[in-house]
């Protein structure tokens, strides 16, 4: 939705509602931008172009209908990151996820259709059972005993 896209782009740019209004040369008020972000109003094409320019994003980005929400994000309690920096990180992650999903769609892949790369299924009752399974996987995949530097990359490489 346009509302979500405007809010995300504004947060990533580190602008307040008033700051965005100022960046647009006062073309619309901060209150109007707030209404756009809440979905209470839809910007005209001219305002939409001005928003895209002020936020340094494309019109295609603002008009994209793909909607994702990043929930359950937690930062370290004693981290010195500001609210602005946290918002930037969250919007950056959302953009990368969206790009990844778009590539999957183009290539007709489905990351949710992942299959366990270990042929045999085991019920684990003890910690030792998990350790034995890990040893079996390391042996089958010839991983040795060194730490695995990138687990995601390994699973993608060894997956179906």
Output the tens digit of pLDDT for each of the chain's 160 residues. Answer: 788 889 888 988 889 999 999 999 999 999 999 999 999 999 999 999 999 999 988 888 888 776 666 677 777 776 687 877 887 787 788 888 888 888 888 888 776 666 665 666 678 889 998 888 888 888 888 888 888 888 888 877 776 5
Exposed, middle or buried: residue 154 (CB in 10 Å: 0-12, 13-18, 19+)?
A: middle
The per-residue pLDDT for 53 is 93
| pTM score, whole prediction | 0.55
The per-residue pLDDT for 82 is 81
The per-residue pLDDT for 116 is 64
Distances in Å between the Cα of 5 and the Cα atoms of 18, 38, 67, 123 are 17, 11, 9, 44
Q: For residue 88, how many other CB atoms are within 10 A of its CB?
A: 16
Distances in Å between the Cα of 145 and the Cα atoms of 138, 149, 155 are 8, 12, 17
The per-residue pLDDT for 154 is 83
CATH 1.10.260.40 domain locations along the chain: 2-106
Distance CA 48, CA 67 (A): 18
The per-residue pLDDT for 115 is 63
Tokens of 135: 């040893």
Distance CA 28, CA 43 (A): 10
Distance CA 55, CA 63 (A): 14
The per-residue pLDDT for 119 is 60
The per-residue pLDDT for 117 is 58
Distances in Å between the Cα of 103 and the Cα atoms of 2, 96, 99, 109 are 21, 11, 6, 8
Distance CA 20, CA 28 (A): 9
* Domain 2-106 grouped into CATH 3.20.20.10: no
């Amino acid at each position: 939705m346009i509302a979500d896209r405007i809010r995300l782009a504004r947060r990533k740019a580190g602008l307040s509602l008033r700051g965005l209004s100022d960046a647009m040369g006062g073309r619309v008020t901060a209150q109007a931008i707030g209404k756009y972000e809440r979905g209470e109003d839809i910007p005209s094409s001219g305002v939409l172009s001005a928003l895209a320019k002020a936020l340094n994003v494309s019109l295609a980005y603002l008009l994209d209908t793909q909607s994702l929400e990043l929930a359950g994000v937690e930062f370290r309690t004693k981290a010195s990151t500001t609210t602005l920096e946290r918002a930037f990180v969250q919007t950056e992650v959302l953009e990368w996820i969206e790009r990844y999903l778009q590539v999957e769609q183009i290539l007709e892949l489905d990351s949710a259709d992942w299959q366990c790369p270990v042929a045999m299924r085991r019920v684990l009752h003890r910690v030792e059972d998990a350790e034995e399974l890990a040893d079996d996987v390391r042996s089958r995949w010839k991983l040795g005993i060194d730490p695995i530097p990138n687990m995601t990359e390994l699973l993608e490489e060894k997956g179906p």
